Amino acid sequence: MHESATIDQPSAWRGKVIDYLSLERNVSIAAAAVFILGLGEELWKKFVPKYLEALGASMPIIGLYGTAQDFLDAIYQYPGGWLADHLGRRWAFLTFVALATGGYLVYLLSPSWPFLFVGLALVMAWQSMASPATFAVIGDALPRERRAMGFTLQSILERLPIVIAPIAGGALIVALGVVKGVHTRVLRSNCVSKENMMKQISRREVISRVAGSGAAVALTLSGSSLVNGDGLVDPNVQSANAEQVAARAFRGQHQPRPLSFDPAKLKGLSEKLIRSHWENNYGGAVKALNAVEQRLAAMVKEKDLPAYVYGGLKREELVRSGSVVLHELYFGNLGGEPKPGGRVLDVIKQWFGSYEQWEDEFKKTANALGGGSGWVVFAQNGHTGEFHNYWAWDHMHNVPMGRPLLVLDMYEHAYHMDYGAAAAKYVDAFLLNVNWEEVNRRAEVLSKV
């Protein structure tokens, strides 16, 4: 089945901007959190010496405060990284924000300067502990060749508040006085921004990434949810409210993932082909899945709805989910050098005897689908533990409990623009552009399952 929906020109340009700036969803939300919370902090941060002085601190005490701040900034990095790895990115962020919010309350209620040191120990949880988690989000979400841009964007947004906020904070303090200005305006607004950001983190699941899947396709380790367990819904935070659960299941807010490679640099696959495939077929599948989910949200409330009508839409949900997942895996394993190694090469040799024998069988499976439609999925059967090149007639047909390592799109839209009916030449070109580093990463994850 072909997705014929087209992406309008503004969407195409938006996709290019997102791709260029590495604005993957998790990176964008983490960067926004850094900017918003930094903006609140910098409203008052430059005026802490005056605040300490107003509360009765001497010059040595003010100097000691600066030393303590630098010391905490250095030592908090380690526990911040440890918590991000052991709690998961999302819960680490929530912990850091909660601690920092407590620190601002201490600042707000401090009757004298010694309390500010207690507040500082808590406030630095966001400023310093969150730094490793932020970089981890970027590392998790972006491929190696785009991480520098992600780090750059985060660094810029971290520094912009330093330029903007002190002017506004200074104006407030001039107007209200140091103590009153800090208490009634600056710190309170910062506490509110922290509270709102905690709600925003929880609501939008900053670091959660639920792997899209179809029941029959059962691609349970798709995309970047292979990287870590943060993508799975934490049962401890699921709402007991059935309506909220239903809304979550049918929210219809999927967004196309940007290409992780430069399509102009592939060998034997034109940039025009790849962009058309990504924008029209994959993009169309994402739009269709969103539409289906939103329609299901309405239909599930219709008490007298015939079962066969609902069943028809559930079939579409399965089709579109399979298409989205398989396309994301397909584009995710493109854009590298054809040099398999590491864990995946060991698997290939173990189950096929040699890479050459595996490649020959993979090509035979792919060419069997030439001129028609379908997918070839080199995957582990999660039930038996075996590895095979699986033949799939459409988005719904695949081995149950399949754990994909390498995915090849054999629908005609994937190659007709370059090769016409010569599907075998397309298969050869595909194997010249496999990102074996990504395939090996998926294999390494399987070895830990």
Grouped pLDDT means (10 residues each) for the chain, 449 residues: 46 52 55 66 69 82 87 85 78 81 79 84 79 71 66 71 67 63 53 50 37 31 36 41 57 89 94 95 94 90 89 92 94 87 92 95 95 91 92 83 93 94 95 94 81
SS3 134: helix
| Residue 259: per-residue pLDDT | 93
Q: Do β-strands 375-381 and 387-392 pair in parallel, antiparallel, or remain unpaired? A: antiparallel
The pLDDT of residue 93 is 75
Kindly provide the b/e burial profile for residues 67-82, where b requires at least 16 CB atoms within 10 angstroms of the residue's own CB: eebeebeeebeeebbe
What was the pLDDT predicted at 2?
47
Of 1.10.357.10, 1.20.1250.20, 3.90.1570.10, 3.20.20.70, the CATH number of 14-204 is: 1.20.1250.20
Element at 391 (helix H, strand E): strand 387-392
Give me the pLDDT at residue 110, please: 77
- At residue 103, the pLDDT reads 79
Print burial letters for 397-410: b (CB count within 10 Å at least 16), e (below 16): ebbeebbbbbbbbb
**CB of 429 closer than 8 Å to CB of 267:** yes
- Side-chain-side CA neighbours of 294 within 13 Å: the count stands at 9
Alpha carbons 120 and 140: distance in angstroms, whole number: 30
Q: In the prediction, which pLDDT does 56 show?
A: 82
Specify the pLDDT at position 374: 92
- Pair 23, 17: CB distance under 8 Å: yes
Neighbours of 224 (CB within 10 A): 21
Q: What is the pLDDT of residue 214?
A: 31
378 membership: H or E segment, kind and range: strand 375-381
DSSP 3-state of 388? strand
Q: 440 with 344: CB under 8 angstroms? A: yes
Q: Where in the chain is the domain with CATH 3.55.40.20?
A: 209-231+240-449
Residue 141 is predicted with a pLDDT of 61
| Dist. CA 93–CA 87, nearest whole Å | 9
Number of H helices, E strands in the chain: 20, 3
Q: Sign of torsion, CA 187 188 192 198?
A: positive
What residues does CATH 1.20.1250.20 cover in the chain? 14-204
Write out the H or E segment, with its range, that includes residue 404. Answer: strand 402-409
Q: Which CATH class is domain 209-231+240-449?
A: alpha beta
Residue 372 has what pLDDT?
81
pTM of the model: 0.51
pLDDT of 180:
57
pLDDT value at position 303?
A: 87
269, 261 Cβ separation under 8 angstroms: no
Q: Tokens for 331, please give them.
A: 């584009």
Q: Tokens for 55, please give them.
A: 């509360």
Q: What is the dihedral of CA 318, 323, 325, 329, to 10 degrees?
A: 150
